[in-house]
Structures are given as structure tokens and as C-alpha cells.
Amino acid sequence: MKFGRLFGLATVGAMLAVGQAHASGEINLYSSRHYDTDERLYSNFEKKTGIKINRIEGKADALIERIKSEGANSPADVLLTVDAGRLWRADQAGILQTAQSDYLKNRVPEWLRHPDGKWYGFSQRIRIIFFDKDKVNPQDLTSYADLADPKFKGMVCTRSSGNIYMLSLMASMIAHKGEDGAKKWAEGVWSNRARDPQGGDTDQLRAIASGECAIGVSNTYYFARALRKDVSGLDKAAMSRIGWVFPNQATTGAHANISGAGIVKTAPNKENAIKFMEYLASDEAQRYFSAGNDEYPAVMGVGLSESVAKLGIFRSDTLNLSALGENQAQAQRTYDSVGYK
């Protein structure tokens, strides 16, 4: 299955020690992606290029602070993380440089990359609406705005307002609706809550399956993963109860976010870093983002894995993802102003 404009590491043990690698056959990767399946991405790159990947893994904000504190002596070549808001934070911290690559510019759609090439998205996670088929008519739930409709009072579950995915969703609402419109939306969603925000995206899906909530918001790959393999609390019976909607298909398109990377300003192995990022945009790597972690590829025209293809195709919001970072602080203030926990 293909798509065009229509589409469709928490710390692992202790941080790995990375030396000051300056040899032409190495890169130092600082990564907050925590998926075991990414090992194949790294091993394939090493086999193809002979370039060894040394890794440090940790939470995104901690890695950003580490690179800042290491200063001019940082061994980091590439920062790989999830959510455009975090990549924006890295750029604001002054630790990224422009990646000069026509290949990346031609492969990655404009809205999924920094305007000046400071970072590029390599996989997409679309934040959509899930619902209990027995309680909700999908025709009444076609947009993010519908989450605030009083008809759904006591039915909606979300993550906490401080979660980066929720901040990015609100940041996109601010971009499209303005601050007043976004605040009104937040008030409505908060009023419609079935419970105070708690848990991660998978927990929102479990809450629908258990009947605690009738509507939830989650990134697509959590649901696609449960279609592909056993996930606690989401057996076949539970999954059959859950329907999904790609919102805003008649207006802005569904809210897209990314996993992406940028080259560190002081990268000692810049040429190898560009080769690594170009590999992440290759057809092989793009297919593996879909097959290995149930994400949508960032590059148009790449086939989807079976689990992702089951979700269907959709029209994506083409708002440049830099806006998710630019509006991030206002997004938190907006949630706070209506008491959204």
C-alpha cells in the first residue's frame, strides 16, 4: 500500500559510554528512541557503509542538556528523538546545525522538516481519535473539535496536558484556531472528561476497551502495534470494540508528528552523520520504520506494513511542524488557564 499526500529511548539500562570518536568510520548517536526493533536500522547501516554507530540512549531533554553541557567537546554527531516539539527545543538550545543534503530535501516533505534543515522527520505518528463502537457513532466524531462537543460529556479520556504529544496537539490547534479558539476547545475537552488524565497512549486504548471511556486520543502506532502482536489489556475482543477516525479530513487534515533527527553543531563526524540521516530517508529504512515500529513513513510513496495499512489512508495536516515548538509554551499556558491537568 502506498501513500502520497494522503498517508495511509527511555533510558535502556545505564547510558552507554561513548568515546571521542573522530575516525572516519564512526558516528556518535544520541538517541531517545527506545525501540528494540531499531537495532536492525543501525546494523543495516553499519553493514552498508562500514560506519560504526556508537550510542548513548536517554530521555530527550536529558540528552539535549548533556550536549549543551559538553559544549565544544561534545562527541555527539546526531540527536535522534521523537516529537517535533523536542527537536524544536534542541534547535532553540543552539545545539543543531543545518544538514546540507539535496537528497534529504527531495525525500522528506517540506512540512516534516525544519525550514533551514536543522532537523528532518523520518517517521510519522498520527494523533487520531479512537472510540467505543457500541457507544459512539463515528459520523458524530469527524474532527478534533468534536471532542469538545457537549454531547460527549463524561466520555473523553486523554493524557495529561504536560505530555509532549498533548502539547503538540494543542500547539497545532493554536496555529489553526488562534489562542481564543484553542482555549475554548480545551475547556470543552476538559468538561467532557470521563476521568482526570492519566497513563500513556496505550492506557487510553485500554480504557476504551474496558468501558471506562468511550473516546480517547492516541498516536496511531500504539493501536497498530496491538493489531500486530499481543499487548496486555488489548486482546482480540478488546480490539474489535475499538473504532478509529482520522480527524479533520474535510479541513486541515489529521495532526501529524514525527520521530526525527538533526546534526549536532559540533559534530566531529559530520559527513558520516549526513550519510546516516540520508540512510534513514532511504526506502529500506522507511519501510522498516513501518514494519518495525508500526509508524507511517515520512517519505511519500513508500509501502506500508500490514498493521499500519489496516488503519487506512488519510489526508495529513501540512502545517510545518516547527509551529509545534513555537507554540509549545502557549499550549501549556492554554491548558493551565482552563484547569486542564
What is the rounded average pLDDT for all residues in the chain? 92
- Least trusted range by pLDDT, from 21-25, 66-70, 288-292: 21-25
Query: What does the pLDDT look like over 111-154, one tens digit per residue?
Result: 999 999 999 999 999 999 999 999 999 999 999 999 999 999 99
Other beta carbons within 10 angstroms of residue 122's beta carbon come to: 28
Q: Which helix (H) or strand (E) holds 103?
A: helix 102-107
Other beta carbons within 10 angstroms of residue 210's beta carbon come to: 12
b/e map 156-186, b = 16+ CB within 10 Å? bbbbebebbbbbbbbbbbbbbbeeeebbbbb
Query: What does the pLDDT look like over 301-327, one tens digit per residue?
Result: 999 999 999 999 999 999 999 999 999
Query: What does the pLDDT look like over 144-175, one tens digit per residue?
Result: 999 999 999 999 999 999 999 999 999 999 99
Is 23's pLDDT higher than 50? no
Is 47's pLDDT higher than 90? yes
Distance separating alpha carbons of residues 260 and 79, to the nearest angstrom: 8
Is 24's pLDDT higher than 80? no
pLDDT of residue 35: 81
pLDDT of residue 15: 35
Helix (H), strand (E), coil (C) string for 56-73:
EECCHHHHHHHHHHHHHH
Helices and strands (H and E) in the chain: how many: 13, 10
Does residue 90 contact residue 297 with C-beta atoms inside 8 Å? no
Other beta carbons within 10 angstroms of residue 22's beta carbon come to: 10
Domains and CATH numbers, the chain: 26-124+257-312 (3.40.190.10), 127-254+327-337 (3.40.190.10)
pLDDT of residue 37: 80
b/e map 70-92, b = 16+ CB within 10 Å? eeeebbbbbbbbbbbbbbbbbbe
The mean pLDDT of 183-200, rounded to a whole number, is: 98
pLDDT of residue 19: 39
Query: What does the pLDDT look like over 262-299, one tens digit per residue?
Result: 999 999 999 999 999 999 999 999 999 999 999 999 99
Is 7's pLDDT higher than 90? no
pLDDT of residue 153: 98
Give the global pTM. 0.89
Cell of 206: 485500554
